[in-house]
Structure 1
Amino acid sequence: MTLVDKCKKLCKASEILATMDTKLKNEALYQVGLSLKEYKAFILEENKKDVEKAKKDNMKESLIDRLCLSEERIDDMIEGIHNIIELKDPVWKSNELWTLENGLTLSKMTVPLGVIGIIYESRPNVTVDAFSLALKSGNCILLRGSSSSINSNNALVYAIKEGLKKSPVSENVIEFIDDIDRSVVKEMLTLNEYIDVIIPRGGKDLIQFVVKNATVPTIETGVGNCHIFVDETADIKKSIDIIENAKVQRPGVCNACETVLVHKKIANLFLPKLYDRLIERVEIRGCQETKKIIPVNSAIEEDWYKEYLDYILAVKVVENVDDAIFHIRKYGTKHSEAILTESLTNANKFLRQVDAAAVYVNASTRFTDGGQFGFGAEMGISTQKIHARGPMGLNELVTVKYTIIGNGQIRE
Structure 2
Amino acid sequence: MMTEVVTLDVEKGKELGLREADLVLLTETGLPRSAGGHFSTDIPDGPLGLFAVVPLAEGNHGLIVGGPHQDGDMVFFLDVDKGAVVLVDLDGGDEGLKFEVVNTSLASFAEFVQRLGAYADAPPAERPADDKARLAEIAASLERLDPEAFRHPHCWWAMVVARHRRAAARRERERAPAASHAEAFDRALDRLEEKGWRHVTGEEFASATGEWGLLALPPDFTDAFAADGTLLRDVDVRWRGGLASELQSAFAWEGLVLRVPEEEPEDDPEDFEAAMDRLMAAAHGPTEPGEGTVTCLAADEPSDLCRILRAFELLAAKGYVAEPALWPTTSGCWERVAERSQDTEALKAVFWNTQSHDSAFDVRGDLVDQLHLGWAGDPEEIGAALADAGLAVQVPQDEGTTFILDPA
Give the TM-score band, short-chain normalised. Answer: under 0.3
More helix by share: 1
The normalised TM-score by structure 2 is 0.22
Larger RCO: 1 or 2 (CA < 8 Å, sep 6+): 1
Higher-Rg structure is: 2
